[in-house]
Amino acid sequence: MFDASLARPFEVSSFPRVFAVSSGKGGVGKTTLAANLAYALSRKGEKVLLFDGDLGLANVDVLFGLTPKCHVGDVLRGHASLREVMIEGPGGMKILPASSGIVDLTQLSEPQKLRLLEEFDALARDFAWVFFDTAAGISENVLYFNLASQERLLLCTPEPTALTDVYALIKVLYRRYGVKRFHLVVNWVQHPRQGEEIFRQLLRVVERFLGSVSLNFLGALPFDQRVSQAVRFQRPFLEIFPHSPWAKALEDLAEQILSLDEAPFDGGLKFFGRKIMGVVA
Ligand SMILES: Nc1ncnc2c1ncn2[C@@H]1O[C@H](COP(=O)(O)OP(=O)(O)O)[C@@H](O)[C@H]1O
Ligand SMILES: [Mg+2]
């Protein structure tokens, strides 16, 4: 069979671009965004791995109507390998499903951490893009996924609490770990300019109090009640409502992500850096 990846050997690096999708506040649309972004890129022929990093409240599989037999929790308990728990999702993307109530990553023993890291290293090399759909807040797991990723895609809504919570996440990642590079998506906007307005509000505070942080505006997604409808169909929104404004905005975001320059090495410990498991623990 023709393997498209062989036709463009110079475009595929041996390391994927790794993004953490986080928000501070819960319920702002992280899982919806991560899952549909993964789908949009997969449909373009990109090799994408979506890791359900919300270890307390798994939902990527529910969103796509998948029923995984095992999940990342089984890997942490030593009952399966990451490769064994990986399942195929819409558009050919691969998914690492979580389950509700998995142990805290930081509670793992050193050998467990090392094994997980090595497995992830080996597995992720098959992909061009990895997205971690994280939990809300600034728990150790959330910080862990953000530190281990090269890029941080932050999501907020126009609600003031969403803005203060995303600022709190940036602040802790910068002050405690020196993370400086962030991308912002504003979800749930009522009109096209609102995303830019929210971005400017956040940027003002970041520039004032967190001097050398760079915050890049990636785009905005409109409020659309069909987003919840797509969840009931358990299919990607882009597949069911491909011509809606939300789908158009998401396609634009996917293009933005594809055209992002590779993040410069910031000295942090990444996946493939072999040491990350010890950082937050
Ligand atoms: N742009 C949007 N318009 C309308 N509803 C949305 C939008 N984005 C997300 N939702 C809905 O908001 C709820 C929370 O989304 P979800 O992706 O689960 O958030 P999170 O992962 O941040 O907790 C879901 O019911 C989802 O369908
Ligand atoms: Mg979620």
Ligand 1 atom index nearest CA of 224: 3
Say how many Å lie between the CA of residue 112 and the centre of ligand 2.
Answer: 25
Residue 69: give the domain boundaries. Answer: 13-280
Mutating to test ligand 1, I would choose from 21, 25, 30, 32 the residue with most ligand atoms within 8 A of its C-beta, which is: 32
Residue 242, pLDDT > 80, answer yes
In 3D space, the residue among 144, 173, 179, 174 whose CA is nearest the CA of residue 275 turns out to be 144
Ligand 1 atom index nearest CA of 221: 1
The span from the CA of 241 to the CA of 13, in Å, is 33
* Mean pLDDT, residues 223-239: 92
Amino acid at 179: V
Residue 80, judged by CB atoms within 10 A of its CB (0-12, 13-18, 19+), counts as middle
3-state helix, strand, coil in the chain (%, to 5): 45, 15, 40
Ligand 1 atom index nearest CA of 23: 22
Is 6 within the bounds of a domain?
Answer: no
Domains held by the chain: number = 1
Query: Alpha carbon of 206 to those of 86, 153, 156, 187: distances in Å?
Result: 38, 16, 15, 19
Is 130 within the bounds of a domain?
Answer: yes
Is 249 within the bounds of a domain?
Answer: yes
Is 1 within the bounds of a domain?
Answer: no
Mutating to test ligand 1, I would choose from 25, 61, 221, 227 the residue with most ligand atoms within 8 A of its C-beta, which is: 227
The span from the CA of 17 to the CA of 152, in Å, is 11
pLDDT band, very low/low/confident/very high, at 274 (cuts 50, 70, 90): very low
CATH number at 212 reads 3.40.50.300
Is 3 within the bounds of a domain?
Answer: no
pLDDT band, very low/low/confident/very high, at 82 (cuts 50, 70, 90): very high
Comparing 100 with 20, the larger pLDDT belongs to 20
Q: Does ligand 1 come within 6 angstroms of the Cβ of 34?
A: no
Is the pTM here over 0.75, yes or no?
Answer: yes
Alpha helices by DSSP H, listed for the chain, are 4-7, 30-43, 60-63, 72-76, 82-85, 110-124, 140-148, 160-177, 192-209, 226-233, 237-240, 245-259, 277-280
Q: What is the mean pLDDT of the chain?
A: 86
Phi and psi at 263, nearest 5°, equal -65, 135
Is 72 within the bounds of a domain?
Answer: yes
- DSSP one-letter code for 105: G
- DSSP one-letter code for 182: E
Is 8 within the bounds of a domain?
Answer: no
Is 200 within the bounds of a domain?
Answer: yes
- Give the pLDDT score at 74: 86
